[in-house]
Amino acid sequence: MTSNDASTATKDIQIDPRGYRFGASVTLVISIIALILGANPAGIIAMAVLALLFLPGATVGPQKTVQSWFFRKAIRPRIGPPAETESFRPPRFAQQMGLGFSLLAVLFGVLEIALGFYIFTGFVVVASFLNSVFGFCLGCEIYLLLKRATTRAA
């Protein structure tokens, strides 16, 4: 059934939810650093690094990020296998949103529009804060609204 056609792209992958929560805490730390550094070259570089870290998660999936590699190598051996797994789709969507927002923050920073830099860095801070601290998936709440807003009624 699952050969090298489109069906592989839609195949679900179950991942350890603690892994991407750890990834969200990495995101939180970097985006807070960027927010405190401010709309200057140092802050822009921090957001550019964050965008790079989001890239594999946004394109392939959250199981392919540097953060998840570190989690598998250094953290999971200490805390054991997960009690339950989750689909990789919600966190991949979250990584895509994160990538988009951090790229916009970098863009506004480079254009020297400080307000834009702070707004989009702020979005990343809030989303990663809710995910890492409360395990709340902001993208899950937004997805249907986005779909409703962008798809015209038949």
Partner 1 sequence: MLVRLIGLALLLGIAALGYRWWQGRQGMVRRVERPGALGVATLGEQPGKAATFVQFSTPICAKCPPTAVLLKRVAGERADVKHIEIDAAERLDVARELNIMRTPTILVLDSDGVVVARMDGAPSEAQVREALAAVPPPNEYSI
CB of 81 to partner 1, least distance (A): 18
CB of 24 to partner 1, least distance (A): 13
2 near partner 1, judged by CB under 8 A: no
9 near partner 1, judged by CB under 8 A: no
42 near partner 1, judged by CB under 8 A: no
CB nearer to partner 1: give 16 or 86: 86
Q: Under rule CB under 8 A, which residues in 82-141 are in contact with partner 1? A: 86-87, 89-90, 93, 118, 122, 125-126, 129-130, 133-134, 136-137, 139-141
CB of 59 to partner 1, least distance (A): 16
Residue 153 exposed, middle or buried by CB count within 10 Å (0-12, 13-18, 19+): exposed
Tokens of 93: 């969507």
CB of 139 to partner 1, least distance (A): 6
